[in-house]
Amino acid sequence: MAHRPVLLIVDDDVGFVRAAAEISGGLGFDVVIAGSLAQARLRLREHAFDVALVDLSLPDGSGLELLEHLDLGGRTQVILITGHPTVESALKAMHLPIVDYVVKPLQVATFRNLLQTAASRQPAEEPPPSEPWHGLAGPSPAMDAVRRQVRRVAPTDASVFIEGESGTGKELVAAAIHAESARSGPFVAFNCGAVPADLLTSQLFGHERGSFTGANARHLGLFEQAQGGTLFLDEIGEMPVHLQVHLLRALEARRIRRVGGSEDIHLDVRVVSATNRPHAEAIAAGRLREDLYYRLAEFPMSVPPLRERPMDILPIAQLVLDRLNRRCDTQRVLTREGADRLLRYRWPGNIRELKNLIQRAYILADGDLVTPSLPLDEAGPSVETASTITFAVGTPLHEIERRMLFKTLAYFDNNKSKAAQVLGIATKTLYNRLNSYQAAPGAPPVLGAAEEAEAGEADGDRA
């Protein structure tokens, strides 16, 4: 599919915009118009642009403020509009990465040449956006912590036990641990609940020919297949308890014996295991031996569910959509309504459910606009959940800020340091704003001067 360049015109001069749009449309550009900085920022969140034509003087500020939102030095070429030739010279002295400048009134021939030059600088094919580190997507602090733990434990030989709900990406974490380790052998993944109990022993430890009915040849078990590498045992709590005894013995002795065999085989295998329920619950229910857990959990980890890291939802959705666009040579985009729906949903199936939903929405999309329909749209959770907040049009800004502060505090169990980190403000600033709202009905208690002093010291330590 031939790529039609997209031009963003940011100007409130209707006559100039009409002329520029007519010329650029004749040159094969798709045109998007914004009459202010605020509108332009919104357009930049919705689309990627090849060229941006930006007026210096806008109703709500200078066009230069928009440069930090544009992909300078990358995809977007920028042409600044000025009504004064002397301003052009001053801007050139700033050595900004801009194609050129247009001086009003518009000179048609000059403008055509500038657009053609900008379009010619576009690469024939855009490089694909960078993939997340080992597939562990999400900018949230929770996922930063997971990636940090992977980097720490990977170079060691410690057994890793991963807890997390179904669909959170536990196998990706296990694969990342293997990839970042020095092990040269393979990564072998196995779901302990996917094989009948009577075949599990043979699957894990292998068997010799003739050891049982149907054993017509020697079979190497998962431990031998993973020699020199990593064996990932998913849903370890689904393994029969009597077999957990054999597994514990093999891990402690670092050797196995095939079913029907007489020789011990030395193991050089790192074991990473996982469960979709809390280990304490599995132990209490008798589904997981406590001694095996402590052997497997030399380094325990937890992958949080998607509902506890809502800031990861849209980046992951966009990542999935980008992959589909590259695979199918399309340019479909997620609509604002679709994004709002994704943020309101609770995601019981976590990332797996999100990926499937985006793929389905992509297939059903009319044109280039993707608006997911959630499985429980009609009977789903209310618009405002523990991790979301909504406001009516016309809500005063001070009321929006007040509700946002207290909603974030409640979400993090009144942990002010965590709330400040997520809100992107200093802890001291959070205390100051809370104190200004402490008389508001329903507000959580704001601590006194002593805790405020501690907050100031904490901010100082981070600085």
For residue 404, the SS3 value is helix
Distances from the Cα of 205 to the Cα of 242, 245, 252, 335, angstroms: 14, 13, 15, 51
pLDDT at residue 355 tops 50: yes
Cis peptide bond upstream of 445, omega within 30: no
Highest-pLDDT range among 249-263, 291-305, 428-442: 291-305
Please tell me the predicted confidence (pLDDT) of residue 442. Answer: 43
pLDDT at residue 383 tops 50: no
* Token representation of residue 300: 């325990």
Spell out the domain ranges in the chain.
Answer: 6-120, 154-303, 307-370, 397-462
Please tell me the predicted confidence (pLDDT) of residue 241. Answer: 92
Looking at 159-168, 262-271, 382-391, which range is the least confident one? Answer: 382-391
pLDDT at residue 92 tops 80: no
Q: How confident is the model at residue 231 (pLDDT cuts 50, 70, 90)?
A: very high
How confident is the model over 351-364, as a mean pLDDT? 93
How confident is the model over 214-239, as a mean pLDDT? 88
How confident is the model over 76-98, as a mean pLDDT? 61
Looking at 138-152, 298-312, 315-329, 416-430, which range is the least confident one? Answer: 416-430
How confident is the model over 385-414, as a mean pLDDT? 69
How confident is the model over 159-184, as a mean pLDDT? 93
Which backbone phi and psi does 334 adopt, to 5 degrees?
-80, 130
| The domain over range 6-120 is classified in CATH as 3.40.50.2300 | yes
Please tell me the predicted confidence (pLDDT) of residue 438. Answer: 57
Please tell me the predicted confidence (pLDDT) of residue 125. Answer: 45
Order of strands across the sheet with 100-103?
Answer: 30-34, 6-10, 51-55, 77-82, 100-103
Distances from the Cα of 114 to the Cα of 24, 78, 99, 173, angstroms: 10, 10, 8, 49
How confident is the model over 59-82, as a mean pLDDT? 72
pLDDT at residue 455 tops 70: no
* Token representation of residue 403: 């509700």
* Token representation of residue 92: 């050139």
Per the model's pLDDT, the better-predicted residue between 122 and 142 turns out to be 142
The CATH class of the 307-370 domain is: mainly alpha
Please tell me the predicted confidence (pLDDT) of residue 96. Answer: 52
Q: Do domains 154-303 and 307-370 have the same CATH topology?
A: no
Q: Which amino acid is at 249?
A: R
The CATH class of the 154-303 domain is: alpha beta
List, for residues 332-347, the tens digit of each pLDDT value: 999 988 888 899 898 9
Q: What is d(CA 153, CA 171) in angstroms, rounded to the nearest whole number?
A: 15
Q: What is d(CA 463, CA 461) in angstroms, rounded to the nearest whole number?
A: 6
Distances from the Cα of 133 to the Cα of 57, 149, 291, 317, 443, angstroms: 41, 13, 34, 16, 40
pTM: 0.56
pLDDT at residue 130 tops 80: no
Q: Please, are residues 374 and 380 in contact by the beta-carbon 8 Å criterion?
A: yes
Mean pLDDT rounded to a whole number for the chain = 80
Per the model's pLDDT, the better-predicted residue between 261 and 178 turns out to be 178
Per the model's pLDDT, the better-predicted residue between 160 and 382 turns out to be 160
Looking at 135-139, 218-222, 240-244, 400-404, which range is the least confident one? Answer: 400-404
Total number of residues shown for the chain: 463
Per the model's pLDDT, the better-predicted residue between 408 and 243 turns out to be 243
How confident is the model over 373-388, as a mean pLDDT? 49
Please tell me the predicted confidence (pLDDT) of residue 38. Answer: 81
- Pairing type for strands 77-82 and 30-34 reads unpaired
Q: What is d(CA 93, CA 106) in angstroms, rounded to the nearest whole number?
A: 23
Please tell me the predicted confidence (pLDDT) of residue 448. Answer: 44
Please tell me the predicted confidence (pLDDT) of residue 290. Answer: 95
